[in-house]
Amino acid sequence: MTKKDYHVVPNGDEWAVKREGGERASSVHGTQREAIDAGRDLAKKNETELVIHRPNGQIRDSDSYGNDPHPPKDTKH
Protein backbone atom coordinates (compact mmCIF):
# COMPACT_ATOMS: atom_id res chain seq x y z
CA MET A 1 0.00 0.00 0.00
CA THR A 2 1.47 3.34 -1.00
CA LYS A 3 1.36 6.21 1.41
CA LYS A 4 -0.43 9.31 0.22
CA ASP A 5 1.27 12.69 0.32
CA TYR A 6 -0.01 15.76 2.16
CA HIS A 7 -0.72 19.00 0.28
CA VAL A 8 -0.91 22.56 1.62
CA VAL A 9 -3.58 24.21 -0.55
CA PRO A 10 -5.56 27.47 -0.57
CA ASN A 11 -9.01 27.15 0.97
CA GLY A 12 -10.90 30.40 0.47
CA ASP A 13 -9.16 32.98 2.66
CA GLU A 14 -7.42 30.22 4.63
CA TRP A 15 -4.99 27.37 4.00
CA ALA A 16 -5.77 23.67 4.32
CA VAL A 17 -3.68 20.55 4.75
CA LYS A 18 -5.19 17.76 2.66
CA ARG A 19 -4.22 14.15 2.17
CA GLU A 20 -3.75 13.22 -1.47
CA GLY A 21 -7.03 11.90 -2.84
CA GLY A 22 -8.98 13.00 0.24
CA GLU A 23 -12.07 15.18 0.10
CA ARG A 24 -11.90 16.73 3.57
CA ALA A 25 -9.05 18.78 4.95
CA SER A 26 -6.92 17.28 7.71
CA SER A 27 -6.68 20.79 9.18
CA VAL A 28 -7.43 24.42 8.22
CA HIS A 29 -5.22 27.39 9.18
CA GLY A 30 -5.26 31.17 8.94
CA THR A 31 -1.84 31.41 7.30
CA GLN A 32 0.17 29.32 4.88
CA ARG A 33 3.04 29.15 7.42
CA GLU A 34 0.75 27.53 10.04
CA ALA A 35 -0.53 25.05 7.45
CA ILE A 36 3.03 24.18 6.36
CA ASP A 37 4.06 23.55 9.96
CA ALA A 38 1.05 21.29 10.57
CA GLY A 39 1.53 19.50 7.25
CA ARG A 40 5.22 18.94 7.98
CA ASP A 41 4.34 17.24 11.28
CA LEU A 42 1.87 14.93 9.51
CA ALA A 43 4.30 14.14 6.69
CA LYS A 44 7.08 13.31 9.14
CA LYS A 45 4.79 11.13 11.25
CA ASN A 46 3.55 9.20 8.20
CA GLU A 47 6.89 9.28 6.31
CA THR A 48 5.38 10.86 3.20
CA GLU A 49 5.94 13.97 1.11
CA LEU A 50 4.64 17.47 1.82
CA VAL A 51 3.65 19.42 -1.31
CA ILE A 52 3.17 23.17 -0.86
CA HIS A 53 1.00 25.06 -3.35
CA ARG A 54 0.83 28.76 -4.25
CA PRO A 55 -2.43 30.74 -3.92
CA ASN A 56 -3.14 30.01 -7.62
CA GLY A 57 -2.78 26.24 -7.01
CA GLN A 58 0.62 25.88 -8.71
CA ILE A 59 3.16 23.76 -6.81
CA ARG A 60 5.63 25.99 -4.98
CA ASP A 61 7.78 23.44 -3.15
CA SER A 62 7.89 19.91 -1.80
CA ASP A 63 9.76 18.08 0.93
CA SER A 64 10.11 14.33 1.35
CA TYR A 65 10.07 12.82 4.83
CA GLY A 66 9.94 9.19 3.76
CA ASN A 67 12.61 6.63 3.16
CA ASP A 68 13.84 7.85 -0.23
CA PRO A 69 16.43 5.45 -1.72
CA HIS A 70 17.77 8.29 -3.93
CA PRO A 71 17.50 11.47 -1.86
CA PRO A 72 18.14 14.77 -3.65
CA LYS A 73 21.10 16.92 -2.75
CA ASP A 74 18.95 19.48 -0.94
CA THR A 75 20.61 22.84 -0.43
CA LYS A 76 17.62 24.68 1.03
CA HIS A 77 17.77 23.01 4.47
The domain segmentation of the chain, as residue ranges, is 6-63
Query: Given strand 14-19, what is the order of strands in its sheet?
Result: 25-29, 14-19, 6-11, 49-53, 59-64
* pLDDT tens by residue, the chain, 77 residues: 567 999 999 999 999 999 999 999 999 999 999 999 999 999 999 999 999 999 999 999 999 887 766 666 666 65
Secondary structure letter of residue 45 according to DSSP: H
pTM of the model: 0.84
